[in-house]
Amino acid sequence: MKEAKKRSIAKAVSYRVICIIMLALISYLITGDFLQMTSIVIIFQSIQMVIYYFHERIWERIPWGYY
């Protein structure tokens, strides 16, 4: 059975939302400051997006696992 692209996108978005909420909650519990929490979430998510992009580009060049 094959998964529809819309389902894959929905899963990716819902997972990212859960991760953002968890990071925000943990950041707020540690700092107790809404502005610091927001800064941490924005900075971390931005860095994570860039790292993920390069991670995917590197894996695209690795032939292992293709058949």
Q: What is the pLDDT of residues 5-59, one digit of tens each?
A: 899 899 999 999 999 999 999 999 999 999 999 999 999 999 999 999 999 999 9
| pLDDT of 1 over the 90 cut | no
pTM: 0.77
Domain total in the chain:
1
- Contact between 23 and 41 (Cβ < 8 Å): yes
**Biggest distance spanned by C-alpha atoms of the chain:** 50
Whether residue 65 is contained in a domain is answered as: no
Residue 67 lies in a domain: no
Structural domain that includes position 23: 5-60
Handedness of CA 1, 13, 28, 45 (dihedral sign): positive
Domain presence at residue 22: yes
Q: What share of the chain is helix, strand, coil (3-state, %, to 5)?
A: 80, 0, 20
